Each structure stands twice: as structure tokens, then as C-alpha cells.
Amino acid sequence: MSLGTYFNLVKSSTMKRLRRLKNLMEVEDLSALILFEDDPIAYKLALTNHFNVVLILPDELYVFTDATLYYEALNESPWSIVLVENFTLDELTRKLLSLLERYEKIERLVVGVNKAWGRTKVSFLYADLINALRARGIDLADATELLTYVFDKPFDEELAIVKWISDVASQALEAVEETLKPGMREYEVAAIADRVLSENGIVDRWFTTIVASGPRASSPHAKTSTRKIVPGDAVVVDLGPLWMGYDGCVAHTFIVGRNNYWNKVLGDVIDALRVGVRV
């Protein structure tokens, strides 16, 4: 399938989820939902990766962007795009309030946020935005459970998207296997994997591509370095492809040249996996 076909699958799934989400907002007496960039749920709802804030109202969805993202969002997203040209806390707060006040009086507004995501991921700007809205008298509610209920389980048609992302990640690992050799540096290996992902339309990552070699291969979630790979090294390559809010995590350990010890370890792991699959 083409990239456009996968996008249409995302769009149709998002529309179904949005209808369900708005029904539950009414049940929970939520006036609106506000989600922030990098939140996979916001990514799916915005239908673009060029956004900063998503505002969901009962009758509309607004995508807020700064000047650097505006034209891409305008071309990609079907929703109303709000340009926050002077992207400061005051200007963002003002534009949000202007839309919220059209729907309901400030003192009666109850706005849901994804606190599970925000607890570790929201930048200082968005944390300050939440505080600024609260200071204006807006009641902020934890909408995490509601959002999880709506977005946690994929529709059957979305499985094709997940499979495609996994297939592209496998292609990236195959490209690494074909080119990996002593003398390469870790960042060069990472670049090969990233190029394959990007050439297939997957330009975002939910974590930076990890390449860890030699003694560094034993470090969980090590950062890619400039280390030069030598014969006998174990090389861990860990990919986190992200596309339209759908993510994957695919990792593989390669052995560069001959290393009897690591070959035995890998053989033991493969045997254990086969036993586990049979069970």
C-alpha cells in the first residue's frame, strides 16, 4: 500500500475515535480537551506532525502552530489551523481563551488534559500554560483514563499500519546488516537505519536511534556515540519509528566478524525464544 493509503486509514480511524471521544466528553461534563505536541494521541487527532497544541471542543477541533509549522499544518490537517505567530505563553493563552470563551463562560469551563503524558513530557511552556488557564478560573481535569479508553486498543484496520511500520524497521535493520563492518562509527550505523526509515516516509522517532557497540552494548538505552566498531564487537541497534502517532520498537544485535562467545550467547537466546514460542 502507498503512504497515502496508510494516511487514509489513520484518518478514518481518527474520525471514529473522535466521535467516541466527544460522546464521552459530554458524559464526563468536559467542555474541552487540550493536548500537546509529542503526545501520540494529539498526533493522531491533529492528522499532522506539524503542530504544537490541539484543542478539542464539542463542535470543532483546532490545531495550534507556530510560524515554522503553519504552512505544513495547513496543507496536511483537515482541521482549523490557528497560527500563534508570537509563540509566547501570553499569546498562546490568549488565543486558547478566545476560543474557549466562544463555547462557554470561563467560570463554567472544565478542560481535560492528558496528565499521564504531561507528567514527564510537557515542556515548561505548556506546564505554565496549564497554570495560566487555572489562574483564569478554568477547572482542569485529568482526562487520562478517558483518552486511554478511546485510544488504547487499535481498530482492526490499524493493524496494517503497525505491520507496515514494523516492516520498514526490519528493512532498516537489513540495510545495517548489509553494510556493517569494522572501522565504522556508531553514528554512521545509526544514519543508515534512519535513512531507510525516512526514505519510506517515517521521519519521526519516539526515541533517538540507538547504536551501542562493544562494551557499550551492555548498557540499556545507551546513546549513540562516535566509538569506532572493531572486529568481534556486538552491536546493538534499537529503532523507535514514529508515524502519525503510531510507534514501534525494533532492536537487533549484530556480531561484527567472528566472535565465538557472542555467537554462543546468541544461539542460546534463539533456542530459548523457540522454546517460549512453542509453549
Question: Mean pLDDT score of the chain, rounded to an integer?
Answer: 90
Mean pLDDT over 248-256 rounds to: 91
Angle, CA 18 vertex, CA 12 and CA 20 arms, to 5°? 110
Give percent of the chain with pLDDT exceeding 70. 96
Question: Quick one: pLDDT band at residue 219, thresholds 50, 70, 90?
Answer: confident
Strands (E) across the chain are located at 32-36, 53-57, 60-65, 80-83, 110-113, 139-142, 204-205, 210-213, 234-239, 241-243, 246-247, 250-255
What pLDDT does 141 receive?
92
- pLDDT tops 60 at residue 245: yes
Q: What is the 3-state secondary structure (H, E, C) of 9-60?
A: HHHHHHHHHHHHHHHHHHHCCCCEEEEECCCHHHHHHHCCCCCCEEEEECCE
Mean pLDDT over 57-75 rounds to: 94
- What pTM did the predictor assign? 0.82
Mean pLDDT over 178-203 rounds to: 97
Question: Where do the domains of the chain lie, and which CATH numbers do they carry?
Answer: 3-151 (3.40.350.10), 156-278 (3.90.230.10)
What pLDDT does 1 receive?
79
Give percent of the chain with pLDDT exceeding 90. 69
Residue 235 burial (10 A CB sphere; 0-12, 13-18, 19+)? buried
Min mean pLDDT across 59-63, 119-123, 173-177 is at 119-123
What pLDDT does 176 receive?
97
Taking only the tens place, the pLDDT of each residue in 121-163 is: 556 778 888 899 989 888 999 999 999 999 988 899 999 999 9
Residue 41 burial (10 A CB sphere; 0-12, 13-18, 19+)? buried
